[in-house]
């Protein structure tokens, strides 16, 4: 019986050399071989599973882009890739810590809880619209509404100031307020 020769699996070093030449199949094989070790190392450093997956993906992107820098005379491919992974994980920890420190330094509680510019513009537009609508009232209606709502007088005081019957003042104010409501587009 004759033994069948089986091609041995290429080493990570050989795969990485092929990746340096742009071999996508070699990259897939290298990924399959080293991904568990890379993810495990990164996860031990970061402790956050989702963040670890992101960093591991960045490591393999870096391997694809920089495979030509690998020098087999200086070490093994597995060591080179795991060194990249460790450095990338440590950089991620530093980056995340710096971001957290920046957030702690900034006083998020002191800012406005609303948009002051929008509020100011809206208020000015509303005031302008009220002034325009007040201008559409008769003189007597405008004066009665002005005394009651802007100066705080009662119906009786408005009637006394205008030297008019209180019932007449109430009617003028009611009619004036109805016209204001319609002008401002407020539902009845």
Give the whole-angstrom CA distance, residue 82 versus residue 28: 17
DSSP 13-41: HHHHHHHHTT-HHHHHHHHHHHHHHHHHH
Is there a domain that residue 7 lies in? no
3-state SS string for 65-128: HHHHHCCCCCCCHHHHHHHHHHHHHHHHHHHHHHHHHHHHHCCCCCCCCCCHHHHHHHHHHHHH
Degrees, nearest 5: CA angle 146-147-152? 115
- If one counts every other C-beta atom within 10 angstroms of the C-beta of residue 56, the result is 25
Q: What is the mean pLDDT of the chain?
A: 88
Question: Stretch 43-54: mean pLDDT, rounded?
Answer: 94
Last residue in a domain, options 74, 97, 120: 97
| Tokens representing residue 16 in the block | 């990485």
Nearest C-alpha neighbor of 145 from the set 104, 109, 181: 181
Could you list the residue range(s) of the whole structural domain that residue 141 is in? 132-184
Question: Stretch 88-92: mean pLDDT, rounded?
Answer: 96
Handedness of CA 143, 138, 168, 171 (dihedral sign): negative
Angle of helix 24-46 relative to helix 12-20, nearest 10 degrees? Answer: 110
Is there a domain that residue 80 lies in? yes
Residue 138 pLDDT: 87
Is there a domain that residue 121 lies in? no
Is there a domain that residue 116 lies in? no
Question: Stretch 56-84: mean pLDDT, rounded?
Answer: 94
Residue 63 pLDDT: 95
Is there a domain that residue 50 lies in? yes
Q: Is the pLDDT of residue 1 over 60?
A: no
Per-residue pLDDT band for 110 (boundaries 50, 70, 90) equals low
Question: Stretch 124-136: mean pLDDT, rounded?
Answer: 88
Last residue in a domain, options 97, 117, 142: 97
Q: Is the pLDDT of residue 5 over 60?
A: no
């Amino acid at each position: 019986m004759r033994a069948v020769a089986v091609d041995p699996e290429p080493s990570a070093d050989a795969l990485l050399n092929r990746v340096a030449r742009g071999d996508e199949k070699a990259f897939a094989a290298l990924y399959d071989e080293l991904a568990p070790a890379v993810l495990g190392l990164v996860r031990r450093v970061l402790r956050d599973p989702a963040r670890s997956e992101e960093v591991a993906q960045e490591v393999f992107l870096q391997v694809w882009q920089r495979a030509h820098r690998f020098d087999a005379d200086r070490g093994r491919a597995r060591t080179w890739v795991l060194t990249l992974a460790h450095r990338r994980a440590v950089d991620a920890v530093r980056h995340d810590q710096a971001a957290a420190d920046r957030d702690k330094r900034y006083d998020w509680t002191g800012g406005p809880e609303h948009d002051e510019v929008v509020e100011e513009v809206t208020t000015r537009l509303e005031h302008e619209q009220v002034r325009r609508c007040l201008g559409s009232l008769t003189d007597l209606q405008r004066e009665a509404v002005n005394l009651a709502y802007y100066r705080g007088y009662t119906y009786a005081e408005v009637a006394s100031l205008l030297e008019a019957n209180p019932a007449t003042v109430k009617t003028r104010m009611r009619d004036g307020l109805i016209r204001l409501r319609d002008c401002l587009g407020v539902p009845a």
